[in-house]
Amino acid sequence: MSSEKHFSLSWKPELLWLHPAHHEDRKQEEHSQYLDRRTGEIFMVTDEEMEAAEEDELLSEYPDWQREGILKARETLNSNDFVELPTQFDIHEYQIMEEFCLAFEDRQVGEQLLRQIRGSGAFRRFKHAIYSMGAEKAWHEFRRIEIAKLAIEWLEQEGIAYIREDEIRGSGEPM
Protein backbone atom coordinates (compact mmCIF):
# COMPACT_ATOMS: atom_id res chain seq x y z
CA MET A 1 0.00 0.00 0.00
CA SER A 2 1.40 3.38 -1.00
CA SER A 3 1.71 6.12 1.59
CA GLU A 4 1.27 8.74 -1.12
CA LYS A 5 -1.84 10.82 -0.60
CA HIS A 6 -4.42 11.02 -3.37
CA PHE A 7 -7.76 12.70 -3.65
CA SER A 8 -10.63 12.34 -6.03
CA LEU A 9 -11.61 15.27 -8.12
CA SER A 10 -15.35 15.69 -8.10
CA TRP A 11 -14.98 18.28 -10.84
CA LYS A 12 -14.02 17.74 -14.45
CA PRO A 13 -10.28 17.20 -14.99
CA GLU A 14 -10.16 19.72 -17.84
CA LEU A 15 -10.91 22.39 -15.25
CA LEU A 16 -7.22 22.22 -14.37
CA TRP A 17 -6.63 24.27 -17.49
CA LEU A 18 -9.72 26.41 -17.06
CA HIS A 19 -8.96 27.40 -13.47
CA PRO A 20 -8.80 31.21 -13.08
CA ALA A 21 -5.15 30.98 -11.99
CA HIS A 22 -4.36 29.78 -15.51
CA HIS A 23 -5.68 32.98 -17.03
CA GLU A 24 -4.12 35.57 -14.74
CA ASP A 25 -2.31 38.36 -16.53
CA ARG A 26 1.16 36.90 -17.10
CA LYS A 27 2.54 40.27 -18.29
CA GLN A 28 2.95 41.66 -14.78
CA GLU A 29 5.04 38.81 -13.41
CA GLU A 30 5.64 35.17 -14.09
CA HIS A 31 4.07 32.60 -11.84
CA SER A 32 3.29 28.92 -11.46
CA GLN A 33 0.19 27.16 -10.24
CA TYR A 34 0.26 24.24 -7.84
CA LEU A 35 -2.22 21.56 -6.88
CA ASP A 36 -2.36 20.48 -3.24
CA ARG A 37 -2.75 16.69 -3.45
CA ARG A 38 -4.34 16.59 0.03
CA THR A 39 -7.12 19.11 -0.52
CA GLY A 40 -7.44 19.68 -4.27
CA GLU A 41 -6.72 23.38 -3.77
CA ILE A 42 -5.11 25.14 -6.74
CA PHE A 43 -3.02 28.18 -5.89
CA MET A 44 -0.56 30.51 -7.56
CA VAL A 45 3.01 31.36 -6.52
CA THR A 46 4.93 34.14 -8.27
CA ASP A 47 8.51 33.63 -9.35
CA GLU A 48 9.57 36.31 -6.86
CA GLU A 49 7.83 34.48 -4.01
CA MET A 50 9.42 31.18 -5.03
CA GLU A 51 12.86 32.79 -5.24
CA ALA A 52 12.41 34.29 -1.76
CA ALA A 53 11.39 30.85 -0.44
CA GLU A 54 14.35 29.14 -2.10
CA GLU A 55 16.77 31.72 -0.71
CA ASP A 56 15.07 31.44 2.71
CA GLU A 57 14.83 35.22 2.90
CA LEU A 58 13.30 36.92 5.94
CA LEU A 59 9.56 37.46 5.64
CA SER A 60 9.94 40.85 7.36
CA GLU A 61 11.74 42.11 4.25
CA TYR A 62 8.52 41.70 2.24
CA PRO A 63 5.17 43.50 2.41
CA ASP A 64 2.34 41.79 4.28
CA TRP A 65 0.45 40.98 1.06
CA GLN A 66 3.40 38.96 -0.26
CA ARG A 67 4.25 37.01 2.89
CA GLU A 68 1.46 34.47 2.49
CA GLY A 69 2.70 33.63 -1.01
CA ILE A 70 6.26 33.15 0.24
CA LEU A 71 5.04 30.85 3.03
CA LYS A 72 3.03 28.86 0.47
CA ALA A 73 6.12 28.65 -1.77
CA ARG A 74 8.18 27.33 1.15
CA GLU A 75 5.51 24.76 1.84
CA THR A 76 5.62 23.56 -1.79
CA LEU A 77 9.41 23.23 -1.63
CA ASN A 78 9.34 21.18 1.56
CA SER A 79 6.55 18.73 0.76
CA ASN A 80 5.63 16.16 -1.86
CA ASP A 81 1.97 17.08 -1.35
CA PHE A 82 2.18 19.74 -4.06
CA VAL A 83 2.55 19.32 -7.79
CA GLU A 84 3.05 22.09 -10.32
CA LEU A 85 0.26 22.32 -12.86
CA PRO A 86 0.99 22.24 -16.56
CA THR A 87 1.04 25.66 -18.20
CA GLN A 88 -0.99 27.06 -21.06
CA PHE A 89 2.00 26.17 -23.25
CA ASP A 90 1.38 22.47 -22.62
CA ILE A 91 -1.78 22.71 -24.72
CA HIS A 92 -0.92 22.65 -28.41
CA GLU A 93 -3.85 24.55 -29.89
CA TYR A 94 -2.60 24.20 -33.45
CA GLN A 95 -2.49 20.40 -33.18
CA ILE A 96 -6.02 20.39 -31.73
CA MET A 97 -7.23 22.55 -34.64
CA GLU A 98 -5.57 20.19 -37.13
CA GLU A 99 -7.16 17.13 -35.52
CA PHE A 100 -10.54 18.90 -35.63
CA CYS A 101 -10.15 19.46 -39.37
CA LEU A 102 -9.20 15.83 -39.95
CA ALA A 103 -12.21 14.59 -37.94
CA PHE A 104 -14.77 15.86 -40.44
CA GLU A 105 -16.66 13.09 -42.22
CA ASP A 106 -17.06 15.42 -45.19
CA ARG A 107 -13.46 15.48 -46.41
CA GLN A 108 -14.05 18.61 -48.51
CA VAL A 109 -15.05 20.56 -45.41
CA GLY A 110 -12.09 19.17 -43.50
CA GLU A 111 -9.67 20.05 -46.30
CA GLN A 112 -11.13 23.55 -46.57
CA LEU A 113 -10.54 24.07 -42.86
CA LEU A 114 -7.03 22.59 -43.08
CA ARG A 115 -6.14 25.19 -45.72
CA GLN A 116 -7.26 27.90 -43.33
CA ILE A 117 -4.73 26.91 -40.68
CA ARG A 118 -1.66 27.03 -42.89
CA GLY A 119 0.74 29.93 -42.45
CA SER A 120 0.58 33.17 -40.54
CA GLY A 121 -2.78 34.19 -39.09
CA ALA A 122 -3.95 30.57 -38.84
CA PHE A 123 -5.85 31.02 -35.57
CA ARG A 124 -7.74 34.08 -36.81
CA ARG A 125 -8.64 32.43 -40.14
CA PHE A 126 -9.68 29.21 -38.39
CA LYS A 127 -11.96 31.09 -36.00
CA HIS A 128 -13.55 33.01 -38.86
CA ALA A 129 -14.01 29.82 -40.91
CA ILE A 130 -15.68 27.79 -38.15
CA TYR A 131 -18.09 30.65 -37.41
CA SER A 132 -18.96 31.16 -41.07
CA MET A 133 -19.53 27.38 -41.46
CA GLY A 134 -21.63 27.17 -38.30
CA ALA A 135 -19.15 24.72 -36.77
CA GLU A 136 -18.26 26.71 -33.65
CA LYS A 137 -20.27 24.46 -31.30
CA ALA A 138 -18.59 21.37 -32.74
CA TRP A 139 -15.18 23.06 -32.37
CA HIS A 140 -15.77 24.05 -28.75
CA GLU A 141 -16.94 20.53 -27.86
CA PHE A 142 -13.99 18.94 -29.71
CA ARG A 143 -11.54 21.28 -27.95
CA ARG A 144 -13.15 20.59 -24.54
CA ILE A 145 -12.75 16.85 -25.10
CA GLU A 146 -9.12 17.17 -26.20
CA ILE A 147 -8.27 19.34 -23.19
CA ALA A 148 -10.02 16.83 -20.91
CA LYS A 149 -7.85 14.08 -22.39
CA LEU A 150 -4.71 16.13 -21.69
CA ALA A 151 -5.84 16.79 -18.13
CA ILE A 152 -6.59 13.12 -17.52
CA GLU A 153 -3.23 12.10 -18.97
CA TRP A 154 -1.50 14.56 -16.63
CA LEU A 155 -3.48 13.40 -13.59
CA GLU A 156 -2.65 9.77 -14.31
CA GLN A 157 1.01 10.62 -14.91
CA GLU A 158 1.10 12.34 -11.51
CA GLY A 159 -0.73 9.45 -9.81
CA ILE A 160 -3.67 11.66 -8.85
CA ALA A 161 -7.07 10.01 -8.61
CA TYR A 162 -10.03 11.74 -10.23
CA ILE A 163 -13.70 11.21 -10.88
CA ARG A 164 -14.96 11.58 -14.43
CA GLU A 165 -18.47 13.04 -14.50
CA ASP A 166 -19.00 12.46 -18.20
CA GLU A 167 -17.61 10.21 -20.90
CA ILE A 168 -14.99 11.44 -23.32
CA ARG A 169 -15.65 10.63 -26.93
CA GLY A 170 -12.56 9.25 -28.64
CA SER A 171 -10.72 11.58 -30.99
CA GLY A 172 -10.88 10.70 -34.59
CA GLU A 173 -14.61 9.99 -34.48
CA PRO A 174 -16.25 11.60 -37.50
CA MET A 175 -18.35 14.67 -37.00
Question: pLDDT tens digits for 15-29?
Answer: 555 444 444 444 445
pLDDT of 4 strictly over 70: no
Residue 42 and residue 79 in one domain:
yes
118-149 pLDDT per residue, tens:
999 999 999 999 999 999 999 999 998 888 88
Of the residues 84, 116, 133, the one at which a domain ends: 84
Mean pLDDT of 47-73: 93
DSSP state of 105: S
What ranges in 12-135 are assigned the alpha helix state H? Answer: 15-18, 47-54, 64-77, 93-102, 107-116, 122-133
Of the residues 39, 55, 84, the one at which a domain ends: 84
Could you list the residue range(s) of the whole structural domain that residue 99 is in?
Answer: 88-157
> Strands 42-46 and 82-84, how do they pair?
unpaired
Residue 112 and residue 53 in one domain:
no
Q: Cβ–Cβ contacts within 10 Å for residue 29, how many?
A: 11
How many separate domains does the chain show?
A: 2
Residue 8 falls within a domain, yes or no?
no
Q: Which of 19-28, 81-90, 95-104, 145-154 has the lowest mean pLDDT?
A: 19-28
Q: Cβ–Cβ contacts within 10 Å for residue 98, how many?
A: 17
Residue 4 falls within a domain, yes or no?
no
**From CA 97, how far away is CA 109, in angstroms rounded?**
13
Residue 167 falls within a domain, yes or no?
no
User: What predicted TM-score, i.e. pTM, was given to this entire model?
Assistant: 0.68
